Every structure is written in structure tokens, then in C-alpha cells.
Amino acid sequence: MKNFKIIALFLVLLFIFLEIFVFSKQTEEKSHKPLISVSTFVLYDIVKNIAADSVTVVNIIPFGVDPHSFEITPKIMAGIEKSSLVFYSGAGLEPWIEKMSFKSKSLDISQYVNLRELGEDESKSHKHHDSHCSHTGLDPHYWLDFTNMISMVTIITSELEKIAPKNSTIYMKNRDKYILMLKKLEKVYTKTLSSCKINTVILNHNSLGYLAYNYNFHAESLSGLSPQADPSPNDIKRILKEIKEDGVNTIFYENFVNSKVMKAISKDSNVKAEVLSPLGNITADEAKENVTYEILMYKNLDKLSKAMLCN
């Protein structure tokens, strides 16, 4: 009986030792994962899909925060400094980036895509309304162009391979899978938006420029590039006129804005008001649901096609 107790005690101690060893090993392995910081949801989605669990991805801008009005804090700065690699959008979307002195490697992804210049009217609206975005004269929502997305995936994969060459094969496999998804999305968008009865989309801020250009529809915004901008009475009159003249049945706003004005316009014009995602960031609830670029782009297409009465 005594020997049995000794053996039982030995097994319990062995089990505890193994538990501690395994936990320590997992913690050690996790701590050795490269830390990658990203500034937008789209960059987060790309890195997560390409690198999977081989890296730890950190959002510089927390889920649920508008990228246009985000203000960086010392705590976030400290976290970024520990990163092996930092991906940010550029093109004036993150004016706070100028405050950073990166010890780690950083990459301005806007340098690897084709950027759309703002038209004369857009530039005037941009300068009048926007206090948080840098006035570059460029549209920073370039991830809504699928060709740009393919370029982004390609350069991000290449940079990830440099810091983790042992994962090169899986990274390239994931890259090809992601690009295939983007090409399919592009085909669906082209087919769906090729024949629509209404050619105007009205939204609270100027975020659909790339889609409007690529799929030949007119995007009219209440304010400039910043969704937080306060519209003037003339802006509201202009939108009311557009709704009436173009036969618009739905207007759009995004989750991070005060929707009061858009809903008032909706009521006065007897049209629907829907949420549309420009994908700069997602809400905390969407993060819990593990939404992806692909999911949100299909949701956007469904709403746009209904609003424009596409066949």
C-alpha cells in the first residue's frame, strides 16, 4: 500500500512537471514569434492570411476606432518599437506616423500601389473638411482596388519571407490562395456592376473613389475624406438635390461616424440609409465574428448592387 502511494505521488509530480514544461515551452515559442504591427484592418487581414500563426500581429489602431481620427499614445508607440516589422498604409491616412522614429523596419505600402489623384472638386472638399488626414491630394482608400490589393499581398509576402525564410513555402502558398480570392472577387464585381439602372452612390465620406472609377459609377459624398467632418448646409442641399435628380433609393454611412445627419437626409428624402464598410478598420463586434476582407467586400457588393438596381 505504501509503495502504491509513493508511485501515485511520483506520477502526480511527473504530471505537474510535464504541465509546467509544456507551458514554458509554448510561452517560449510564442515569445520568439516575430511581432508585426499594422495600421489598418486590410493590412491585418493580409498578414494574418499569409503568415497565419507564425507571427504575432498587432493592430496599431484598435478595432472599433476610426483610422482618420486616431491619435497615437505613448503606450502604443512603445509596442510598435518592439516590432520586427511595421506595415502602414501611407498616402496621408496616418498623419501620426510623422511622430514615429522606428527602430524596427517599417514599410509604407502606398509606395507599392497605383494611387488615385483626387479630382478638383474632391480636393476642395478635402481641404475644407479634413483636419486629421494629411493633404496629399491622393485617395488613401487604395485597397478597394483589387489590382492594388494583389500588389499589397505580393510585397507583404516578400517582406515576411525575409524575416522568416523557413516559412517561405507556406507563405507563397497562402499568397497564391489569397490572390486567387481577389481575382474571383474582381470578376464578381465586374459582372454584378456591369449593368445597373442607377449610376450614383451617395455616402457620408469620400471612400469609394477607386470602386467608382473601376466600375464606372458616380460616388457623391456629404463630406471629404474624413468621416468625422461636419457637413455644411450647402453640402446637405447638394446631397438632397443629387438624391432627387439621380433617383437614388439608398444612401450609405459607416459604423464609426455619427449617423444623425445621414439618417435625417434619409428620412427627408424617403430613401434607405445603410452601413457600408470602407475597410480601413472594423468594429469590435466584427472582430469577434472574425470577419475578413473577402466577407466585407461581398457584403458591400450586395448593398451596392441593390442600391444601384443592378441586374
The total number of structural domains that make up the chain: 2
Q: Of 145, 167, 189, which marks where a domain is finished? A: 189
- Specify the pLDDT at position 127: 45
What is the C-alpha to C-alpha distance for residues 38 and 143, in angstroms, rounded to an integer?
Answer: 14
- Specify the pLDDT at position 92: 85
Given a contact cutoff of 8 angstroms between Cβ atoms, the answer to whether 80 and 104 are in contact is yes
Given a contact cutoff of 8 angstroms between Cβ atoms, the answer to whether 145 and 126 are in contact is no
Q: Is residue 90 part of a domain?
A: yes
> Grid coordinates representing 189?
464585381
- What is the DSSP code string of 235-261? HHHHHHHHHHHHT--EEEE-TTS--HH
Question: Nearest to residue 110, comparing CAs of 84, 131, 137, 132?
Answer: 137
**Contact residues for 113 (Cβ-Cβ < 8 A; gap 6+):** 142, 145, 148, 151, 152
- Specify the pLDDT at position 294: 98
Residues 175 and 221 in one domain: no
Q: Is residue 6 part of a domain?
A: no
For the chain, the maximum distance between any two Cα atoms, rounded to a whole number of angstroms, is 93
Alpha helices for the chain (secondary structure H): 2-31, 41-51, 74-81, 120-129, 146-163, 168-192, 209-214, 233-246, 260-269, 284-288, 293-307
- Specify the pLDDT at position 5: 55
Residues 168 and 270 in one domain: no
Q: Where in the sequence is the domain holding 82, given as residue range(s)?
A: 32-189
CATH of the domain at 268: 3.40.50.1980
- Those residues of the chain that have pLDDT short of 70 are 1-31, 102-104, 119-136, 224-229
Residues 206 and 92 in one domain: no
What is the C-alpha to C-alpha distance for residues 291 and 232, in angstroms, rounded to an integer?
Answer: 34
- Specify the pLDDT at position 68: 72
pTM (predicted TM-score): 0.84
Using DSSP's 3-state secondary structure scheme, residue 106 falls into strand
- Specify the pLDDT at position 77: 82
Residue 256 sits at the vertex; the CA angle it makes with 92 and 190, to the nearest 5 degrees, is 70
**Contact residues for 91 (Cβ-Cβ < 8 A; gap 6+):** 110, 115, 136, 138, 139, 140, 142
Residue 59 sits at the vertex; the CA angle it makes with 43 and 111, to the nearest 5 degrees, is 35
- Specify the pLDDT at position 65: 85
- Specify the pLDDT at position 85: 93
Q: Of 134, 165, 189, which marks where a domain is finished? A: 189
- Specify the pLDDT at position 125: 47
Using DSSP's 3-state secondary structure scheme, residue 91 falls into coil
Q: Of 138, 154, 189, which marks where a domain is finished? A: 189
Q: Is residue 237 part of a domain?
A: yes
- Specify the pLDDT at position 7: 57
Q: Read off the amino acid at residue 1.
A: M
- pLDDT tens sequence across 161-188: 999 999 999 999 999 999 999 999 999 9
